[in-house]
Structures are given as C-alpha cells and as structure tokens.
Structure 1
C-alpha cells in the first residue's frame, strides 16, 4: 500500500529564469552598499572592494588565488600590479553586471587584463572587436599582441590584415621592427597582396634599417621574393644591377632570367604565383584506363581531360576541358609536357602532336615527328624546345631523340640516348634533362632498368648518373624545390628523391606504398599522386606527399578511378 502511494506522488520542477539576473542585481546592490565584501583590490593607489566568491566564479586567476590556500585568500587587501585601475574597475564591473564597453582606446588594455586574469568571455569579445576593426595602422602591433598573449585567433586575423595591406604596412615604423621570422611569415605567403617589386623594396628597406645585423639575412629573405613575376625592366634596373644582391643571390637572379626567357620551365618556390597575380596552379589529368579486362584484353579507356584548382579536390571540383577527338587515349599514358606557363603539348604517337591552349580552350596541330610511329616515349621542354625521348616503333625500342622548334615548326634529330629506352620517366632540373628507368632492350625482349642519364643542350652525349634505388617501368617523375621525385620499384611502388651533386647525384627513398601506374605532378609546393591501379580498376584517390614532413596524406578524389593516365600542372588565369 505504501509503495503504491509513493509511486503516485506528484512532482513539479520549478525553474525561475530571471533568477540569474536577479542574483547579479542583488550582488551589485551588496557591492554598492559595501555589504559582505571581504577583499579589497589595491591597484596603483585605488581601492576596489569586492566579494571573493564573485571574483573566483568569474576569473580562473582569482579562483586559483582564493581557493588554493594562498596567503591572499586570508588577506583583507590584495595588491594588483598587472593592470591599471581603470581596466581593473571595468573587469570587476563585468563580474557583477556581465557587461563591459569596449572601445578602440581601451580594447588592447582590456584584452591584456582579461587574458591575464583569465576572464575568457571578455578576452574573446576583445579579440572579436579588435579583429573587426583592424587596419594598416595597427595590424602589426596586434599581431605582436596576439603572439605575446597566446591569442592565436587575434594573431591570425592581424596577420591576414597585414598580408592584405602589405603595401601600406611596409612603410610603417612597426614594419622595421619585425623579427626576421615574422617578416618571413608574411613574404612567404601565397596570400600576400602586393606586387613583387613592393616585396623586394620592403625587404631591402628592412635590411637597410639595421644593415650591420641584418645583411646576413639577405639570402634567406631573397629566396622568398618571387622574381619571375616581377616587371622585367624593374628587375634589370633595380635588382640585377644591385651588386650586394648579385653577390649573395646570383643563382636566384639566374633563375629569374631563365623564367623570364622561358616561362614555365623552372620549378621552385619562387615560380608559384601569389593569389593577387590572378594566376593559379591547376592540375590537369589526361586520358587513362578506368578498368582492365585481362580476359578479353580490352580495356575501358577514359578519353576526357579534366582540371582542378583545388588542393583538396572532390568529384565536384574538377572541370572538363575541351576534348580532342583525335587523341589516342589507348596509350598508357599519353606523353605530355607543359610548354610555357599554361600550354600543354601532347603526342599520342609520332604522327599526331598537338598543342592545347587552356586560355583559348583550343587545340592546334604541331608538325609530325620524324619517327611517325613513335610510342611509349616521353616529352620534356627545355629552353622553349620540346624533346621527344626514346620510345619504340612497334616492337623496336628507340635511342632516338627529336627536338621540336616552335619558331621553325619542325622536328630535328637530337643527341641519341646511350641505349634504347621506353616507358621511362623524364624530368627537367637545373637546365638539364634527366631520363630515368623504363625498359631496355635485351636479346630476348625487354627488361626493367634503374639507369639514369642526364643531358644539357650543347652536350655531345648523355651522361650517366646514379642509378635509382629500384628498377622500374611505366614510371613517372616530377621536380620540386631542386630535387627530382620518381615513383619506381615493384608494386606497391616507392617514391624516391634525387638531389644533384658534384658527382652523379644521390637518391633517397622517401615514401612507400604507392600504387602502380599512378599519375604524379607538383602542386602548392607538394607532390600530388593521383589514382593508380587497384586490382584491375583505377583508384580515384588523390594523395599528397609533403617534403617537409615526409608524410603521405589522402587529400581528395578525382572524378573517376584511373590508372596509366598523364598529369601536368599549369598556371591559368581565373
């Protein structure tokens, strides 16, 4: 009977919503009448009566002070030295009212005080207010404040403002007080909104402000000025004639000359455009196989050409470019190379050599090669000329190299390879063409090789270099920051890097687990590996290799799974 009575008892949950406001109002009345106050904050001669429990409830700093047995928890008066009286009063008023008025004049001081006393809502409100009112006059100062107070949001927002207003901030006294690392953070950014002439002038001004201490930093800073995008006349008159710059940065200036004469042929951090230029890097994927039919020897070929600007591409971020009907996609992969900053030259066989111009979205025919049935070759571009290297005619492997001169619209015989080669990789680095791996001819057919050759225009023959760590056929290579990256070996493949040296260079294995028959190119200062073979189908996965961390990360997908496709990076106005 008692159990039934207990189950039937009524209940009512009461919640008085205005209670919190009434409580604050009551605390304000107690404070204004100096009732029950138990501590006085002494700030530069000003005494501010308070309640310990209110301060402790509002501030992590005061909670630690009053709740952990420190002497201040028992003292009637507590000295505060970290803020001025006005800011302390505003923060105490906030504790009792939940309100504070932030202005341009007091925002910085309130931020410092709220950050020190760990009154986080006020700190965050100050960060928002300052971030919304940043300008060229104060963004460098706020960048320093954000760093000093460990406020990453403020530091980030102030840096963004500095990047946007770089031309103006580079003329301020605060700019001259930047540390080298802070200056590097700004001028290394793709988001820097300034002409390269302005960047160069700003760097020189910063160095000349304290030449004795800063002249040793010139080389490191000049590596971040993107001279290839500088006005040619300005470069010749203001940079190339500066003896101090020439002495410490001769190779950088030589690179700039090469880029101006032969756009698109040099790959370095300085050849990547800033966003303000209107140019953006774009990855182009050409042809490939979607699925392999090993039973009937009929593959499902992809005849599309797609492009993306995205560093983390999704299926929707790719756009389809103008398709070439005559493109022989049943070559795996189609030989391609960038010509200039945006044009792409393709050779589906020796007879059909085409040029795609993305800015016009149009195709045109180039002169046919001398070897009309050349296949499984590779293309490279150096000093404005296209090199068709190796390959085969039917089952006969070629040592032949042909060179296309666009001004004469014809191919001529070049310096032949030391041995026949097909399905190899090629790369252009430091004004030399490298041929790596592929298949070599034997008495009973073909076999994979790891040999490497180098050729520079003017040489009478190819020079042998250090072999790759592993043999590989159907391989690919790209150039990034002074090194060649090649994918080779037995499936799963490895990613190796080659660094030229005084002798024959050094190879290093940097990553493993790479799919066979993948595509590779450079993008955003990293190596992008696209697709590859999974069983008898192509993968759509896009993997990024970061040379700084030496890590592989999946960053996106292609429109479809592909293998044996071609990849190239171009610059395109958007």
Structure 2
C-alpha cells in the first residue's frame, strides 16, 4: 500500500501539468457553480419519515380515537396553513405535547400523516368522502383536488345530481362544475332519474333554461311534467314558469297541439293555453312573424347542443344505378357517415326536410321488372336512423320538385305515370299528416329552380314538354293559394337547385357556370361569382349560413358530360367559392338537406346521435 501511494504521489506533478495545459486551451472556468440535487428533497422526506417512525426528534402527538401518531411540528407546519397557524402562533396547541383532532378517524389521520411525510396516498371510494372532509379542514388543497378528480372519474348520469349535492356540502367547485356538465350533456338519461324529481324549482329552472342542455324540447316538456307530478300539491303552481323554458318553435306541431295542448296541467294554466293558442294562430296564418306576446318565447335560439348536419340521399351513384344510400357529413370532423339505406331505389324522387325529419317523396321505383311511378312518402329521423312511411301523395309523380315552408310540404309538377308533364300542386300538412290539392301552376315546367321565402314559393325557369327553356318566374302565394308570373330574360336555368340566404334566392348553374341571386325584397337579380365548371343535376343546401353544392354533372373542356363527386362551398359574405374535398362517390339527381341534431359529444359516433323529431309518431 505504501508503494502504491508513493507511485501515485510521483505521478501527481505530471497530472497537474497536463491539467494546466488543458485549462490553458479551454475557456475561463466559472467562478460560481449552481449545484442542484433533485433527489435531495425526496431523500429528506424519507429520512424524516424514518425519524418519525422511530420517534426520533418528534415533538407532538396527533390524537384521534385513542390513537397517538408522533410527528414533527416543523414538518406539519410546513405542509399545511392549518398547522402553520396552530404551531407558529400563540395558540395553546403550540405548547401542548398532544393535539386532539376531533371529527377525523384514526385511520384517515394516519393516511394523511403518511401522505405528508411521503407524498403518497391511496384514494378509494370507501375513504374518499371522510378524506375530503378531513383534508378540507386541515387545508391540504392539493390532496382535496386529487379527491375531487377521483370522484369526477366516477361520474355517471345516474349519480351526477347527487354528486352536485355532495360538492355543495364539501364546497368543491371543480367537482360541481364537472357534475353539472355531465348532467347537462346526459340530460336525456338524467331526466329519468329519481334525483331529478328532488331538485328545487330554481335548480330545475336553471337546467331547462341552459343553452347547453342536450335534450329535445319534447323531452324538456316531459321532464317538467314528471317533476310536477312527483309532488303535484305543492308544485302544480309552477307550470307556467316552467313552460316558458320550453322552446316551442323547435317542437313538432303534432306533438305540440295533440299532446302538450291536451295535457291537464297545461289546460289548468291560463298563461300556458294562451301561449299555445298564439302558436296555433301563427302556424295557421302562414306567416313567420309573431306578435309581441309570443316573441320572447318564439325567438329563443336553439340550444348549443343542436348542430346542423348535411345529409345527402338517393340520386344516381357512379353513373351505374339509382342509389339507396344516405350520407351524413359532419363539418367538425370533416367525415362522411352512412345512414340507413332507403327501402327502395327511387329514380328522380324529391327530397325535403321539415322539423328536422328527412322526407323522400314519389319517384320511379327501380326494384321491379315493371317500373311504377310512386306516391309513397318515406321519412327518416336521425334520432332513430330508421325509415318509415307517411301518408302517400295524392298523385303519383317523378322528376318533380318539393319545398317546405313552416309545417307544410309543397310538391310541384313533375312527370306522371304516362310521362306527361304535370302542372298540379299538392300540399302536405305535417300537423295532421294530410295531403290536399292546391291551385295548379300557370305553366307546367320540368326541372325549375324552386325556393320558398316570405310566404311565397318561387319557380325559376325550367323547360317545357318540348325541352325548351322557359324564361319565366312563377310565384305562388301560400296564404292566398294563387299564382303570378313574371317573364324575364335573366332566367335561363334547367336542372339547377336554388337556396335561400337572407331573403336572397341563389340559383346555382343549370347547364351554365353562372350563379345569380334574386333579391325578393328589391325584386332584382344580383350577379355572383361563377362556378368553376358548367353544372347541372347537382344539389345545394344552406348549411351554417353558407351554400354547399354537391355532385351533379358537368361539361368538361371537350364539351363532354361527366359525373361529378365535387363538394364545394360558397360564402355569400365574401362572394367566394372554396372546395370541401370530394364526395365518397360520384352522384347526381340526389337530395341535399340540412338537418338539426342534438349531440352531447364533440366527435359523433358512426351511428348518428339524437335528432329533434317526433319519434312517437
């Protein structure tokens, strides 16, 4: 060992010399070094906990249920404002050897002390509530929020209302906020729970007036009825206040007039019956303007959970055969989803939406050896994603036009069983599921652009039986059941859709790239930005105040007609077109409609979530 030491000492000058050489070549070394040891704090806690367990330097005993837990005052005071105040101020506990903590069980206190010394604790449903109460008293904010996060993970529609009650007792704002969010988003499930009937009137009112409430208005009404019937003697007087929270404009008329209006509770309230009668007068007056007494209730917007979705249905797919497909496009995810298929292949049916229910009317049936012109009316509710039938039309027809206004559907023209051009018009009343014949068109035309606005239906252009373009606007006054005509050289469209935005009717293409807007108030045409190609047999609908144009057929640069899978959007504010990608397949002569859905999820599943509709019909 001595020899080794001597050898090492003999080498020291050389090592020192080499080190000096390296330092001369490097940058000047810093005069101060900031040293950090990340393990120091954890090692210190471990040592303190060992000292506690061995009762070394402990100077206080925390007592509960005849159990004494030795601790260090300085550790407790450093961990909590509660113990800081207790041990660092002139309280008697600062001098006592034993401190009795009432209201905390020995097992919970032991868990908390272990947490203070180790930073680790196991939270379970068995201990979370007494633990939260204890750490709330002892002012361990981080552990309190950890318990809150644990309870938030346990939230469900079955317990969210009771969790709100619990959060109020514990004064836990984060838990209350999450539980409230769950109750609002899952209101369809929550509304059937017993806990809802235990809400106070102000609490129920706060839910029913919440714009985020994820429920159909029919269900909102049924919820308030269930709440009243739970304690009718003391609650029936609240019917008029609660009824004001139901957004009547978005309830199916049949449900409103047949179910709500006939309910004994509603009939017992003068205010409720007056409101319903005002809605009835508004519906039957064929006007969209309501009186001052109804306006505050009628103009209330849809809830935020109601979102518009774009639906495509029918048409010719990939130029092969008439399609039974129905597609839904969600703008937030930019994805297409498949809905239930149409029961039959229908060539040149018409498509319309009313009360967020999709209607497919008439058409030429394509699933038999003998083609039959149909009077059948199919309906699709996004809530059930199932097709069912309504009352059939009076007259079989295909290649016709349909348009909705208020609670009516109007069917105009088309071709009959003998392929004769029809001038007939019929109207469907969705309140009573009935059809009636109206005054026929002055001039029978095929493939006009059709739109309804301000109590009128406008037919622009089209072609006659000899396939000659008709330069004419035919206007039907809905309330008067009469027609007027205006000849104009501006109109020259065939197989072009029309859509309404802010009292302007946009006519999109029709064997042309041109798009024009007819201002119904000023009675004049406005030129808009052209499309990129000459289009016909395409579809258009208004979606989030923009115009969406899908599919169709176009004439390419070599004057050859091709099918299209284009998906384009027109913004009237900027007068610009943008592409939205492509459809899943090429499509023309299809329906394109905007339907309103109720959704409580940021990303909808493959099967569509609830939609505002009358599923009981």
TM-score (norm. length: structure 2): 0.52
- CA contact 1:381–1:387 (8 Å) conserved in 2: yes
- CA contact 1:143–1:156 (8 Å) conserved in 2: no
Question: Where does residue 286 of structure 1 map in the other structure?
Answer: 314
Question: Where does residue 106 of structure 1 map in the other structure?
Answer: 130
Question: Where does residue 244 of structure 1 map in the other structure?
Answer: 271
Question: Where does residue 344 of structure 1 map in the other structure?
Answer: 360
Which of 345, 350, 374 is the aligned partner of 1:335?
A: 350
Q: Deviations over 1:53-103 (max 9, x none)?
A: 985xxx9xx9xxxxxxxxx99x95699xxxx98599666643434114454
Alpha-carbon distance in 2 for matches of 1:555, 1:77: 69
Closer, same or farther: CA 557–126 of 1 in aligned 2, 3 Å: farther
Question: Where does residue 278 of structure 1 map in the other structure?
Answer: none
TM superposition shift of 1:343: 5.6
- CA contact 1:530–1:542 (8 Å) conserved in 2: yes
Which of 49, 54, 73 is the aligned partner of 1:28?
A: 49
1:519 aligns with 2:539: yes
Bigger Rg over Cα: 2
- CA contact 2:504–2:518 (8 Å) conserved in 1: yes
Question: Where does residue 68 of structure 1 map in the other structure?
Answer: none
Closer, same or farther: CA 26–113 of 1 in aligned 2, 3 Å: same
TM superposition shift of 1:287: 0.8
Alpha-carbon distance in 2 for matches of 1:107, 1:344: 60
Q: Deviations over 1:336-360 (max 9, x none)?
A: 3469967631345999344254667
**C-alpha RMSD over aligned residues:** 7.0
- CA contact 2:410–2:425 (8 Å) conserved in 1: yes
Q: Deviations over 1:382-413 (max 9, x none)?
A: 899874435699xxx98934337999x99967
Closer, same or farther: CA 151–462 of 1 in aligned 2, 3 Å: farther
Alpha-carbon distance in 2 for matches of 1:116, 1:508: 68
Question: Where does residue 338 of structure 2 map in the other structure?
Answer: 317
Alpha-carbon distance in 1 for matches of 2:588, 2:525: 26
Question: Where does residue 426 of structure 2 map in the other structure?
Answer: 403
Closer, same or farther: CA 558–507 of 1 in aligned 2, 3 Å: same
- CA contact 2:403–2:411 (8 Å) conserved in 1: yes
Alpha-carbon distance in 1 for matches of 2:480, 2:53: 91
Q: How does 1:368-383 map to 2 (within 5 A)?
A: 375=399, 377-380=400-403
Q: Deviations over 1:221-253 (max 9, x none)?
A: 443884644693563243356321233454445
Secondary structure of the 1:232 match is helix
Alpha-carbon distance in 2 for matches of 1:528, 1:145: 51
Question: Where does residue 551 of structure 2 map in the other structure?
Answer: 532
Number of residue pairs matched by the alignment: 474
Secondary structure of the 2:261 match is helix
Which of 402, 423, 437 is the aligned partner of 2:448?
A: 423
Which of 453, 457, 480 is the aligned partner of 1:434?
A: 457
Q: How does 1:230-241 map to 2 (within 5 A)?
A: 232=258, 235-238=261-264, 239=266
Q: Deviations over 1:253-296 (max 9, x none)?
A: 567999xxxxxxxxx999x99x9xxxxx9945111464xxxxxx
TM superposition shift of 1:149: 3.1
Q: Deviations over 1:315-336 (max 9, x none)?
A: 6634443443xx445xxxx533
Secondary structure of the 1:344 match is strand
Closer, same or farther: CA 405–176 of 1 in aligned 2, 3 Å: closer
- CA contact 2:539–2:549 (8 Å) conserved in 1: yes
Alpha-carbon distance in 2 for matches of 1:566, 1:392: 18
Question: Where does residue 9 of structure 1 map in the other structure?
Answer: none
Gaps of 5+ in 1: 3-17, 42-46, 63-71, 259-267, 276-280, 291-299, 546-551
TM-score (norm. length: structure 1): 0.55
Q: Deviations over 1:536-558 (max 9, x none)?
A: 5523659899xxxxxx9999975
Alpha-carbon distance in 2 for matches of 1:511, 1:529: 14
Which of 176, 197, 207 is the aligned partner of 1:171?
A: 197
Question: Where does residue 453 of structure 1 map in the other structure?
Answer: 475
Question: Where does residue 27 of structure 2 map in the other structure?
Answer: none
Closer, same or farther: CA 190–543 of 1 in aligned 2, 3 Å: farther
Alpha-carbon distance in 2 for matches of 1:215, 1:361: 35
Alpha-carbon distance in 2 for matches of 1:347, 1:49: 86
Secondary structure of the 1:185 match is coil
Q: Deviations over 1:185-226 (max 9, x none)?
A: 3894237995843335648999x97989x9788645443884
TM superposition shift of 1:487: 4.9
Closer, same or farther: CA 211–235 of 1 in aligned 2, 3 Å: closer
Question: Where does residue 324 of structure 2 map in the other structure?
Answer: 305
Question: Where does residue 128 of structure 1 map in the other structure?
Answer: 153
Alpha-carbon distance in 1 for matches of 2:390, 2:184: 43
Gaps of 5+ in 2: 1-14, 16-38, 63-70, 92-101, 286-297, 366-370, 380-385, 557-561, 572-576, 596-610
Question: Where does residue 214 of structure 2 map in the other structure?
Answer: 189
1:49 aligns with 2:73: yes
